[in-house]
Structures are given as C-alpha cells and as structure tokens.
Structure 1
C-alpha cells in the first residue's frame, strides 16, 4: 500500500469520526454551553483560577487558603451545572471513541491481539 493510499484512508477515517454520533453530541453540548452565559462564565472563571494556581505553583509560590477555597467552590459549581455535566459526558463519549480508534490502530500495527481476538473484544478480525 502506498503512502498516498494510507493518507486517503486516514482522511476517510477522519470523515467517519466527524460524522459520528459522538462528535455530533459533543458539538451540540459545546453549543449549549456557549449559549448559556452562566455555564460559559463558570468554565471561564474555573480555567482562569486554575491557570493562575498552576502559574503560582510553577513559580514556587504557595497557594493561599482563599485561592484554594475559590477553586474548590468553582469545581463544585461545575459539578452541579447540568449543562456542563452534559458537556463532560459528551466529551468522555468522544474520548472513548478516539481511544478505541487508537487501540484498533495499535493492534493492527502490532499484528493483532496477542492472546486471541477475545482479549480485545473479539473485533480484531474486522
């Protein structure tokens, strides 16, 4: 098989993933978050606080109790927001799909399942 054929197949795989229910669900969840000002602002606040915390730790500085409490409060608010929970579930579903794709590719590269097809869910003869 030529490099060009492999790249064409990879492009086809990318198109298949782009048309999957997992990516559609993720895009829909992302759109809901961006349209919901509370969820969007909460994510932005959390990312900002986490980034500041990481920068302080990288600089060798310690975190104050107020900063730690703020981050913990933001984490709790994230967990209690249903729109953000939907986004996290959709992201996890998409990540699982991608892990399965990478696993299948690695199995093909290594010559298949080492202890028979049952060891990887019985789908290595596809």
Structure 2
C-alpha cells in the first residue's frame, strides 16, 4: 500500500482497496475472458489508473497477472492430466492455441508438450 503515490493516507488506503478488488476478480476469473474495462468497472477506477496502481501494488499489470495464473494452471494440468494441449488451452482461458504455445514457450523455455514429457 505504501507504494501507491498519494499524499493522503486515506486516499492510498482507498486505492489499495480498489486495486485489491480487481485482484480478487482476477484470482476468481482468470480462466474467463475478463477485460480491463470489466476490471476497472469492478474497481471503480479508470483503466489507466487501475493499470498504474495495480503495477505499483503487485509489480505486474493485471494482464500479466492473468497470464501468469493461466500458465500456472497449464503447468498443473500438463503434469496431472492427459488432456490434449488444445483442451488445456481452452480451459485456462486462451482463445488461440498458437498464442498459448508461444507464450508458454517464451516463459518456460519449452513447448507445453516438452514440458509434459519433462515432468514425467
């Protein structure tokens, strides 16, 4: 909360509370297609204000946080299930298999298939 740059403590507390609401929405709905507009409406902040303060509080943007959570869930599903990669992609909220594979490889250094093989 102290990272939020506002002169008044009450304003910092309120901004933190609102950003926390957006975080709760992300945690509860990261598999769903949640837009920045929906998050900002839930937090009662403008999109830019939400992004700026979310990054101050959590160190990442709301979008980056959603991607991180989706990839964690993908790892879990790749390790614990025999679901096809395309099904995992759908279940964790990616609309495009190609973008899922690209992002997974960029972050993990291996494709989802390679990750699954290495995890066994």
With structure 1 as the length reference, what TM-score do the two structures score?
0.34
Query: Which structure ranks higher in relative contact order (CA pairs < 8 Å, sequence separation ≥ 6)?
Result: 1
Structure with bigger helix share is: 1
With structure 2 as the length reference, what TM-score do the two structures score?
0.35
Structure of higher CA gyration radius: 1
